[in-house]
Structure 1
Amino acid sequence: MCAAPKQGQKLPAGVDVEKETVLTGQVLDADGSPVAGAFVRLLDGTREFTAEVVASGTGDFRFFAAPGTWTIRALSSRGNGETTVTPDGTGVFEHDVTVAPS
């Protein structure tokens, strides 16, 4: 069992998006339906594992990162998928990940 915290789109109180880089989005299947409970991994620019969370009941996930190049990979019983994001500063960067059977 993974000990990754459950996530959601609502940012915690006190998060200053003028000082933080937030990567957020939703895990979706090929039909656009949310995928609850997917393991969502954050990989750095060299594709090394950095962090993992469990998508919420509505498929939402969130990471706090630094500007740069990141890969967000989702793994679920409904398939896997990934997307590359390149936040260039602080703020909220929304990117959904679509999963498909392998």
Structure 2
Amino acid sequence: MCAAPTQGQNLPAGVDVEKETVISGRVLGDDGHPVGGAFVRLLDGSGEFTAEVVSSGTGDFRFFAAPGAWTVRALSSSGNGTAQIQPEGNGVHTVDVLVSA
């Protein structure tokens, strides 16, 4: 069992998006339906592992990061997928990851 926290759509109380860089999104299957229980990994600009969470039942995930180039990789029983995102500043930045077998 992975110790990665399960995610939801709402930001925790006290998060100031004026001061934080948040990367959030959903894991979606080929059919466009959300994929819950996927292991979602955040890799930095050099491809190094930074963090991992488990997508919620509605496919949601969230990371607190820094501005820069990031790769989001999802691994699930429905398949795997990768997406790129490059937030340039603070705020909530959204990216969906499509997984396929």
Identify whether the pair has TM-score above 0.5, normalized to the shorter chain. yes
Aligned-partner SS, 2:10: coil
Answering whether residue 22 of structure 2 is matched by residue 22 of structure 1, we say yes
Structure 2: gaps spanning 5 or more residues: none
Instruction: Note the 1:23-102 alignment, pairs <5 A.
Output: 23-101=23-101
Structure 1: gaps spanning 5 or more residues: none
Tell me how far apart the structure 1 counterparts of residues 53 and 42 of structure 2 sit (CA, whole Å).
9
Count of residues in correspondence between the two structures: 101
Tell me how far apart the structure 2 counterparts of residues 96 and 76 of structure 1 sit (CA, whole Å).
14
Aligned-pair identity in percent equals 72
Answering whether residue 12 of structure 2 is matched by residue 12 of structure 1, we say yes
The TM-score, its normalising length taken from structure 2, stands at 0.99
Matched letter for residue 4 of structure 1: A
The TM-score, its normalising length taken from structure 1, stands at 0.98
